[in-house]
Structure formats: C-alpha cells, structure tokens
C-alpha cells in the first residue's frame, strides 16, 4: 500500500515491513560524511538486525567529484555533484545532510521533507535558524527530522531532552558545548599560556579551524544554546535570541584571578527558565559568555576539548552528560544513531517524537536577567577610594559579595564581586566605573553564573 502525505497528516504511518530495504542519500563527504560511510559498511549486518531491514546507500552528493571519486568508501556507489537528483529519487527514504552552512542545506532539507523523506542532520546553524520551518515541513509530510549530532556530537543530550525528560520540567541547562574554546581556556589555566599561544597550539593540534571565529567568538555555542533552550523549555528560541560573547579578551591575569578565588573560567552556554516570586514561569533566556565556575562544580573539571552539559530538572534533579562533543567519529556515531531511528520507523511504521514548542514562553532580554559580576580594576591608591567606589554600586542598588585589594606603588588592583543583580544595572555600573576619576582601567568583567 502506498502511503500518501494526506494519510500521514491524519496520523497513519505504515511501514515497509520487516525485511524492507531503507534507501539513504548522503549529502556531503567531509570528515563526518566519510566516517558515516565507513561505519555503515563496517556495521551493516548489525544495523540490519537493529532496524529490521537493510540500509542501502543510494548515492553520495559532493561538491567536487574529482576529489572524492577514488575514495574507497564510495566505490560501487553513485557519486554526484547534483544533490537534488538524489533527494528526489523514489527509492530514497532518508536523507542525511552533512554539508554545513544554512541557505543551500535549508533548500535541500525542506525539499527532502516535502518529498516524504525523513532527514538526519548534524547542521547546528541550520537547526538553530530554521527549526520551526523544518519541523512544520516534517509534520506536514509525516516524516522524521533528527538532529542529535547538531549539539554535542555523541553526547546524547537531544534524545535526553526529547524523550528521557519529556515528563519532567527542565529549569536550567548549562554546559561546555565547544571543544575548541574549552581546550584554549584549559591550556591557559594549566600552562599559563596567553590566549594567542593557546589558540596557536589548538590550531596546530587540529582543535581549531584555520578561521576560528565561530568558535572563539561564541557563535558555535550560541547555535547550540538555541537548540537546547528550544527543546528544554518547549519554546522556539533562535540563534538571534541568544546573547553571545567569546573568549578573545580573556587574559592570563583573569586566569590567575580565578585561581585565587578557587574558580575556573569556562565558556558556558546557559539556558534558563525565569520565574516570578510565586514560581510561575515568566520567560526563558539563552546566553553564551565566559563564566567563573566554582572548582567544586562538575563543569570546572571538564578539561582539554571535552564537552559537558549540566541539566537541572524539577523531578530528576541535577544531571550531567560528558564526552567528546566534536570530531568525525563521535559525530558520525550520533548521525548513525539518528539514522537507525529514522530507518526503523520507515520499516516498522510510526514517527519519532517531534518538536513541540507548545509553551511559547517569551524570550527575556538579556538585560533583565539576574547575574553576578567579577570586576577587575586598576585604581588610584588613596585613602577612601574603596569607600568611594563602593557607593557607585550602592547608588545602583547592587550589593557587594567580596572585595580584594592588592597594592602596587601609587595604584592598586581591586577585585569586586557583586551579589545578583539585573544585567542592565550591572552594565551601567561598569560604564560608570570606567569614567570614574580614580579608576585607571576596568581590566576585565567576568560573570559568575554556573
């Protein structure tokens, strides 16, 4: 029996039946695509048993045929530079998108979904920007849209939010979701390297791209934060909703100051449900910025290029997911996990849990979020300067948690830690301090928000 899109929209999702082959088109053959093809060949018999039918790769789309035509993993397969010729084939059931970027992959994924193909993608930028549109297309066609690999490669955080915590209420998600920046900050912490030297070492070892901007400026983490917030709070949060700061301004002096406070600097993606005094949800917020993490917190111990995601839920309590958040093999593992799920549904019928942004909470502006500041200043060393500067905080209604002063000649280094206050009020204080006659420089401002 042929299943039409109209029948799918009415909730009928019949499968091919046990033994039916599942045709797959793979778009892109970079590091991840190559690993996916290798693992499909290596695990084909086991995957058939798990799915109930055999995965058959109908073709691989690449941008440069000459570059890939002799690769062992594509021998015997259709290799094309025309992706549309694959996704429109009647014998393709699932499309695996591994191209990267936004505009062109969006066209291909939408066309695939509208043609009744389930889609597996590792494209965080695409999902963060267009999840609503893609999810709607998948729902209308009655097919699956999977993207576990888009957040933290092999770390199963999307499945956890979509299935394991589906009956709970997530309050907060915070995590290290970019391996490049974690490696750089860890190297600065453990070896005393400057940011520039740590970045050079990360590049030499292959942890950083030739152009590391997306990583070090926080854009990669912001895309992932948008996905996590959308899933955790059942509210559509896009990349543009995420406040984003990177690590390029972090100095060895900041690292040393953190050590003296028994803290570690990490680039965190933070997604938070905001409530009123009665505990009712008033909105959600997602942000990415360098953060001082207490050394007793589990995230402080995440070293090298590893990722970790810390989830706080009402009933489940505190959970942490840790592992390789990038790389060809870990990402391919997540892609194959999604592919098995999509293929199994094609064989046995049914659909995976779909995105459900039913809550539709407002996204709260970052300026209204409560946080804490660690402010490092160089000030004139004179009697009364500390009391004078403290009034700047008091006048703005912000109380101080700790103050540390280190004298050096006619100047002093002053470290001030605030209690929680609205971000916009704290920013006004920093701007005022920068103009104060006794403040020679505001050296750094780092949030405490783990």
Start-to-end CA distance of the chain, whole Å, equals: 54
**What order do you get walking across the sheet with 55-61 strand by strand?**
79-80, 55-61, 22-27, 94-97, 118-121, 145-146
Q: How far apart are CA 258 and CA 129, in angstroms?
A: 35
The neighbouring-strand residues paired with 65 are none
Q: Tell me: is residue 124 an annotated ligand-binding position.
A: yes
CB neighbour list of residue 109: distance below 8 Å, 6 or more residues apart? 95, 97, 119, 121, 126, 134
User: Helix (H, G, I), strand (E, B), or coil: what is residue 73?
Assistant: helix
DSSP type of residue 352:
P
Return the number of other C-beta atoms located less than 10 Å from residue 111's C-beta.
16
Q: How far apart are CA 125 and CA 204, in angstroms?
A: 25
Q: How far apart are CA 43 and CA 47, in angstroms?
A: 6
Q: Tell me: is residue 29 an annotated ligand-binding position.
A: yes
The catalytically annotated residue of 117, 224, 266, 346 is: 224
Long-range contacts of 391-399 (CB under 8 A, 24+ apart): 392/429, 392/432, 392/433, 392/436, 393/418, 393/429, 396/421, 396/425, 396/428, 396/429, 396/432, 397/421, 397/425, 398/425, 398/426, 398/429
Token pair recorded at residue 404: 């540390």
User: Helix (H, G, I), strand (E, B), or coil: what is residue 249?
Assistant: coil
Q: Tell me: is residue 346 an annotated ligand-binding position.
A: no
Q: How far apart are CA 396 and CA 14, in angstroms?
A: 63
Q: Tell me: is residue 232 an annotated ligand-binding position.
A: no
Q: Tell me: is residue 28 an annotated ligand-binding position.
A: yes
Q: Are 409 and 380 in contact (CB under 8 A)?
A: no
Q: How far apart are CA 379 and CA 377, in angstroms?
A: 6
Q: Tell me: is residue 114 an annotated ligand-binding position.
A: no
Q: Are 378 and 408 in contact (CB under 8 A)?
A: no
CA-to-CA dists, residue 35 to 58, 83, 277, 344, angstroms? 17, 19, 50, 21
The closest alpha carbon to 268, from 295, 243, 294, 289, belongs to 289
| 40: phi then psi, degrees, rounded to nearest 5 | -60, -40
The closest alpha carbon to 153, from 335, 303, 298, belongs to 335
DSSP type of residue 245:
-
224 is catalytic: yes
Q: Which residues are annotated as a binding site for NADPH?
A: 124
Q: Which residues are annotated as a binding site for NADP(+)?
A: 27-34
Q: Which residues are annotated as a binding site for L-homoserine?
A: 209
Q: Which residues are annotated as a binding site?
A: 27-34, 124, 209
| Catalytic site positions | 224
């Amino acid at each position: 029996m042929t299943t039409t899109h109209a029948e799918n929209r009415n909730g009928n999702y019949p499968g091919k039946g046990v033994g039916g082959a599942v045709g797959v088109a793979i778009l892109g053959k970079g590091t991840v695509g190559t690993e996916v093809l290798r693992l499909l060949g290596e695990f084909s018999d086991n995957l058939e048993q798990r799915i109930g039918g055999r995965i058959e790769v109908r073709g691989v789309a690449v941008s440069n045929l000459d570059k890939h035509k002799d690769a062992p993993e594509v021998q015997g397969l259709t290799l094309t530079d025309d992706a549309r010729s694959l996704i429109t084939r009647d014998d393709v059931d699932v499309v695996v998108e591994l191209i990267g970027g936004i505009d062109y992959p969006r066209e291909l994924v939408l066309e695939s979904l509208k043609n009744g193909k389930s889609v597996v993608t590792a494209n965080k930028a695409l999902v963060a920007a267009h999840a609503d549109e893609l999810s709607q297309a998948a729902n209308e066609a009655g097919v699956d849209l999977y993207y576990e690999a888009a957040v933290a490669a092999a770390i199963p955080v999307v499945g956890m939010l979509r299935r394991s915590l589906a009956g709970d209420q997530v309050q907060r998600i915070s995590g290290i979701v970019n391996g490049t920046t974690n490696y750089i900050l860890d190297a600065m912490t453990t070896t005393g390297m400057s940011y520039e030297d740590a970045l050079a070492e990360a590049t030499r070892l292959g942890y950083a791209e030739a152009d590391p901007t997306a990583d070090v400026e926080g854009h990669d983490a912001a895309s992932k934060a948008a996905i996590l917030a959308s899933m955790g709070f059942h509210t559509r949060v896009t990349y543009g909703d995420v406040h984003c700061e990177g690590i390029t301004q972090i100095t060895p002096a900041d690292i040393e100051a953190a050590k003296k406070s028994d803290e570690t600097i990490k680039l965190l993606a933070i997604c938070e449900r905001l409530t009123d005094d009665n505990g009712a949800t008033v909105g959600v917020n997602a942000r990415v910025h360098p953060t001082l993490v207490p050394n007793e917190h589990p995230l402080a111990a995440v070293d090298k290029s590893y990722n970790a995601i810390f989830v706080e839920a009402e009933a489940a309590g505190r959970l942490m997911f840790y592992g390789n958040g990038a790389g060809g093999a870990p990402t391919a593992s997540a892609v194959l996990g999604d592919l098995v799920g999509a293929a199994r549904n094609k064989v046995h019928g049914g659909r995976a849990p779909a995105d459900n942004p039913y809550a539709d909470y407002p996204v709260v502006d970052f300026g209204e979020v409560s946080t804490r500041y660690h402010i490092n200043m160089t000030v004139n060393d004179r009697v009364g300067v500390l009391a004078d500067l403290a009034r700047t905080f008091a006048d703005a209604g912000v109380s101080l948690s700790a103050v540390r002063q280190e004298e050096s000649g006619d100047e002093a280094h002053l470290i001030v830690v605030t209690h929680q206050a609205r971000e916009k009020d704290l920013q006004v204080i920093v701007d005022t301090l920068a103009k104060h006659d006794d403040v020679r420089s505001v050296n750094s401002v780092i949030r405490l928000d783990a």
